Amino acid sequence: MEFRGKRHSNVTPSAELTISAASAKDFPLSALPEIALVGRSNVGKSSLINALVKQKIARTSAAPGKTRLANFYLIEKSFYLVDLPGYGYARGGVESAEAFEGLTTQYFDPARQEGRRLTGVFHLVDARHPSLDSDTAAHEWLSRTSVAIALVATKVDKLTQSEQNRNLKLLSAAYDTLILPASVPGNIGLDEIWKVIRRWTNLQAINAC
């Protein structure tokens, strides 16, 4: 069946948490494609996973620093969405942990890619704050890993249309990559994100969206 380019919002994809990895030795060795979600704490990574699979599988929180492990979610038994710990927040309230945590660095380490298939990364940036230094630094770091990147501008529901236009322009100027505006309330932009997932995984018939 061909689902490409069509809207199937009534389909709920299967999704299960395979492992919450505390270190690289726990990363699943599998031939299945992996797509990682990276971004500042509280930007909406876990919420986006829930919205994409239309079920509350990932834990979210209004307070930053919720996801501390690398959570591998197996979707449609076909690929992994990997929810990585956010950057820009350190427990204890110090805003000093701007850099990626050790776990994220390990995740992208080419030496640890053997037996795995990382096919793309969604870099999430809060659409209200398009030019944070920590985001540009993270993006430069990700670009050096040579994995395919798409930028997701989150929480656009919090902006007026003209603020959205202005901030998306700023993001386009700052980031040389595909930019996908998204919002969990209203399910805005999810179809476009699914299209990218299909492209990266080469799974045209994923029964979703």
Exposure letters 135-151 (e unless 16+ CB within 10 A, then b): beebbebbeeeebebbb
The reply to whether 43 sits near ligand GTP by the rule CB under 6 A is: yes
The reply to whether 28 sits near ligand GTP by the rule CB under 6 A is: no
**How many whole angstroms separate alpha carbon 62 and alpha carbon 60?**
7
User: Which residue of 78, 134, 154, 164 would you call a contact of ligand GTP, by CB under 6 A?
Assistant: 154
**How many whole angstroms separate alpha carbon 190 and alpha carbon 20?**
25
**Nearest-10 crossing angle of helices 45-53, 190-201:** 90
The reply to whether 167 sits near ligand GTP by the rule CB under 6 A is: no
Q: How far is the CB of 24 from ligand GTP (least distance, A)?
A: 19
The reply to whether 187 sits near ligand GTP by the rule CB under 6 A is: no
Residues 88-147 within binding reach of ligand GTP (CB under 6 A): none
Q: How far is the CB of 71 from ligand GTP (least distance, A)?
A: 9
Closest CA relative to residue 26, chosen from 86, 83, 85, 72? 72
The reply to whether 71 sits near ligand GTP by the rule CB under 6 A is: no
User: Which residue of 18, 24, 54, 65 would you call a contact of ligand GTP, by CB under 6 A?
Assistant: 65
**How many whole angstroms separate alpha carbon 169 and alpha carbon 144?**
24
Residue ranges that bind ligand GTP, judged by CB under 6 A: 39, 41-47, 60-62, 64-67, 86, 154-155, 157-158, 183-185
